[in-house]
Amino acid sequence: MWQAEAVAAKLRAVAPGLRVELTVVETAGDMNLDRPIGEMGGRGVFVKEVQASVIEGRADIAVHSAKDLPSTTPPDLLLAAVPERGDPRDALVGATLAGLGPGARIATGSARRRAQLAWLRPDLTFDDLRGNIATRLAKLPPGGAIVMAAAALERLRLRPGVVDILAVAEMVPQAGQGALGLECRLGDVQTITLLAAVNDADAFACVSAERAFLAAIGGGCDLPVGAHATLDGDVMAIEGIFASLDGKVVLRDRRSGPRAEAASLGSDLGRSLFAAGGDLLAPEAEQRSASS
């Protein structure tokens, strides 16, 4: 709701007098809180019903957390804008990474977060975590921590005691984390033009590179993969990880080049990491993708 209201405010600011109404849609990811995301099909469980509302004409714009979007857009839709991005990093809530005792419990529903934390701290134990922000904060394990997107805490202005923002060098974020993805119907020129006014070109380029990485590596919420792109002028750098589910192996690499080649940089990095996984990681990825 915060995301939708923020986008509505941006649209009203660029088009004074524009009437914007919110259409609330409940997704499979919202309704099935007792099942891990990977069991429901992984990436996409929070977006399909929202996309259907736009395709069927019940809404004109879909507002998504970009990290929830599948790497390919439905043929009837267009990813038209990515507004200014929030903090892409992950955060530990309840304890710092260094302050966690031996065998401390970490609650997270993300295979990516679990694998990278297990790589950093093999002694840690993990609980699954689903639900909205308030529900997650209420499930803080005694002596442990939960993992959340730093942007969620920032947007909702939450200060839940101890918060340790993890540097990208410690934990590579999910592709698109901290960003919003705004979709509309393909060919809806009026809405496409409106959304162009709230698009952030740098954020769009970075998210495009990260989504290209995801498409090339073939993973989503159900696989331990992550990507983070940055821009320095017209030079883009993208870093990615591909890990085993138990976190015993974490492959990490990066690419850099012109921002005009954002998609190819992401694709090249994804293909390279997937190939480097060889017999150890590729069968695991294929098995998980097939089951979804």
Catalytic site residues? 68
Distance CA 208, CA 7 (A): 20
∠ Cα 233 239 241 (to 5°): 165
Quick one: which H or E segment has residue 65?
strand 61-65
Q: Which helix (H) or strand (E) holds 253?
A: strand 250-258
Strands (E) in 97-196, as ranges, are 105-107, 125-127, 145-149, 163-166, 180-185
Residue 38 makes CB contacts below 8 A (sequence gap 6+) with 111, 221, 222, 288, 291, 292
Residue 125: CB atoms within 10 Å: 11
Two tokens at 264?
């190819």
Q: By CB neighbour count within 10 A (0-12 exposed, 13-18 middle, 19+ buried), where does 279 fall? A: exposed
Q: Which of 27, 42, 286, 72 is nearest to 183 (CA)?
A: 72
Q: Is the dihedral of CA 49, 50, 55, 58 positive or negative?
A: positive
Structure tokens at 79: 């990813």
Give kind and range of the element (H or E) at residue 251. strand 250-258
